[in-house]
Structure 1
Amino acid sequence: MTGRLLIGCLLLAVAGCLILNIGIGSVAIPPGEIVRILLDGKSDDEAWLYIVREIRLPKALTAILVGSGLSVSGLQMQTLFRNPLAGPSELGITAGAGLGVATVMLSGGSAASLYAIRQLGLSGSWLIVAMASLGSAAVLLLVLMIAGRLKDNVVLLLVGVMIGTMTLSLISIWQYFSQPEQLQEYLMWTFGSLGGVVDDHLTVLASVVAFGLLLAYASSKALNALLLGEQYARSMGLTVGRARTIILLSTSLLTGSITAFCGPVAFVGIAVPHLTRALLGTSNHRLLIPASALLGSVLLLLCDSIAQLPGTQAVLPINIVTSLFGAPVVIWMIVRRHNFRSV
């Protein structure tokens, strides 16, 4: 199967999984009715119309954005660092977002650092998003500053992991001195959720993810050159420092915005790029990037469908389902490679 044909099949799979995801839940909705609502905006059942347009469609679109963004981020990290276990969280961006959220949830929203944000009229979910974005942006700036001084990507990866570890340590200290009800609120955020992104939230998330994906696709040529190492890339005329900055910026925008709006979502960024390479049998990022985005969308839609526990009123956190799927894929990849050879 050619790359273009596979991408076409993945597009159909995304459409099919979208309809499946919208139809599953405590109230089952027939596929034909879903298609009618999506195309015509009409339905004989007003309850179905409300459920699809106001609740399930925004959540399904969020799943597509999260799956595509994290998958492409993971692909870029694995290529840049030439490490099959590199993922979007290895730079500490996710931990930085977590620190921002901890500032709100574990301080009861009374910290003096929140005053300036509250003056802007932010509160509730927007306050959490703003603080998560600030946390991830602070870590991004630190990583970019260090990246300008380090020439070795492996060392940069280690620095990113250490920054993430330090940030998580700060969060742990905060948790130790927090009240039980504050800990519970923060723990629920760490489980991840696709259901809280609606209206203006969805518009902002879609805009940032779209920009990050465009940056990633614009870096396709640079990523292809980096596959054989920095020396080869330089011999091909690539300005490695500039390319690395753009790749890190794209990954940070995607990971930071998704974590801010949806919480941490595990394993997608590590697992999907390996599945995409196995399906395509190529290392050409002009094909891998769109294919990874589509396959990540399919995966998140399926995981969210499973999380609905069809036939029940219960809903599992999305992080639990993605971990159950992603961990076996990573184990399979390790066994298949037998060692940590570069991608």
Structure 2
Amino acid sequence: MSKKFKILCSLLIIAIILSAIINMNTGFLSLELQDFFYSSPNSQIADIRINRVLVMLLAGISIPTSGFLMQEYFQNPLAGPDILGITSVASLSVSFYILFSHDIQIPEFLQNSFLSLSAIIGSLLLMMVLLSISNKFQDKSYLIIFGFLVSALAGAIVSLLQLYAENQSLKNYILWSFGANNMVTRNQILVLIVLVLIGSFISFKTIKPLIGNSLGNSYAQSLGVNLHHLKLLIIIASSLLSASITAFLGPILFIGIIVPHFCRLIYNPAKLWQQWILNMMLGMLIMLLFSIAAEKSHIPLNVISSIFGIPVILVMLLKQNKV
């Protein structure tokens, strides 16, 4: 492990800790240290802020990792977590739940859980479809085309549902799509931790084969890399990581494209193990900063990530075209 990498990691850890502290002290009320550790009138607000920080850390791990896997596998710096259509299907599942559950009597404390569960179920169903048809797609580009078609179809159905939705149902769906990081409960965070751990473990198993894959299919096979097995692991890991965050926070996936790009700029892009670690650290830092900006400006998290992400992606496109 090089000295430069150790320095980068140390600086990012310090920045993450400082951002987390600032995040927990950002809001309508100023909290005291005792509010976070002892029972007080503001303990409930302190718990909400702790949950907000935890879910931002998990999102910072999941989304950049998913984007990193997609970009390395497809060898495309503009590939993102939604490239396989997972995010679009999660949004479609949530829209079905929100727009058709208003006549069903569901306790209020269970509504967010069922909303998240519907997104996860929809994403897992698409993941199983991807796994079942992946054998028929020998060329990686066909998976991208399939994902694009799924996204287009899901977007069309969501638009149709919105056209006939009741006002309150439509409002609920729009609020979910904005990315509500203050609405995630402690129990939901525990579920999210399990999903992120599983996705991260599978991601860990893909790094070594990805190093061989980056040298070309023929060379990778000569090194003993099972390309079909790698494709399945990439689909499962990326689907779990992106679907879990989409389910609980809404579609805030722009950082899945921009964080891996930043990491390649600040450190050797050929060293995938270090790149993966940097992606998670920088992702956590950026998500915490987005959360602070969202609380300060009262602008939805998804809007802030888009405002930040779109110019960066545009610069990347212009840079590629220039080369």
Question: Scaled by the length of structure 2, what TM-score is found?
Answer: 0.92
3-state DSSP of counterpart to 1:62: helix
Determine if the alignment matches structure 1 residue 75 to structure 2 residue 68: yes
In structure 1, the gaps of 5 or more residues are none
Distance in 2 (CA, whole Å) between partners of 1:49 and 1:106 is 34
Determine if the alignment matches structure 1 residue 293 to structure 2 residue 280: yes
User: Are the counterparts in 1 of residues 81 and 253 from structure 2 also a CA contact under 8 Å?
Assistant: no
- Equivalent residue number for residue 66 of structure 1: 59
3-state DSSP of counterpart to 2:136: coil
Question: Scaled by the length of structure 1, what TM-score is found?
Answer: 0.87
User: Cα distance, 1:5 vs. partner?
Assistant: 2.5
User: Are the counterparts in 1 of residues 63 and 253 from structure 2 also a CA contact under 8 Å?
Assistant: no
Superposed CA RMSD: 2.2
Distance in 1 (CA, whole Å) between partners of 2:194 and 2:15 is 23
Distance in 1 (CA, whole Å) between partners of 2:210 and 2:191 is 27
User: Cα distance, 1:27 vs. partner?
Assistant: 1.7
Pairing 1:219-298 to 2, within 5 Å after superposition: 219-298=206-285
User: Cα distance, 1:42 vs. partner?
Assistant: 4.6
- In the alignment, residue 134 of structure 1 is paired with which amino acid? I
- Equivalent residue number for residue 20 of structure 2: 18
User: Are the counterparts in 2 of residues 272 and 292 from structure 1 also a CA contact under 8 Å?
Assistant: yes
In structure 2, the gaps of 5 or more residues are none
- In the alignment, residue 45 of structure 2 is paired with which amino acid? I
User: Cα distance, 1:336 vs. partner?
Assistant: 2.6
Distance in 1 (CA, whole Å) between partners of 2:181 and 2:146 is 31
Pairing 1:127-138 to 2, within 5 Å after superposition: 127-138=114-125
- Equivalent residue number for residue 327 of structure 1: 310
User: Cα distance, 1:29 vs. partner?
Assistant: 4.1
- Equivalent residue number for residue 87 of structure 1: 80
Provide, for residues 93-136 of structure 1, a one-character-per-residue CA deviation record: whole Å limited to 9, x for no partner: 1111111111111123448xxx9xx8xxx941111111111111
Distance in 1 (CA, whole Å) between partners of 2:295 and 2:77 is 31
Distance 1:91 1:74, change over 3 A: same
Partner of residue 302 from structure 1, selected from 289, 311, 320: 289
Aligned length: 320
- In the alignment, residue 268 of structure 1 is paired with which amino acid? I
Partner of residue 51 from structure 1, selected from 41, 45, 54: 45
User: Are the counterparts in 2 of residues 65 and 297 from structure 1 also a CA contact under 8 Å?
Assistant: yes
Partner of residue 5 from structure 2, selected from 3, 6, 11: 3
User: Are the counterparts in 1 of residues 179 and 301 from structure 2 also a CA contact under 8 Å?
Assistant: yes
Distance in 1 (CA, whole Å) between partners of 2:42 and 2:213 is 49
- In the alignment, residue 180 of structure 1 is paired with which amino acid? N
Report which of the two has the higher share of helix: 2
Work out the percentage of aligned pairs sharing the same amino acid. 29
Distance 1:110 1:226, change over 3 A: farther
User: Are the counterparts in 2 of residues 88 and 255 from structure 1 also a CA contact under 8 Å?
Assistant: yes
Distance in 2 (CA, whole Å) between partners of 1:227 and 1:109 is 49
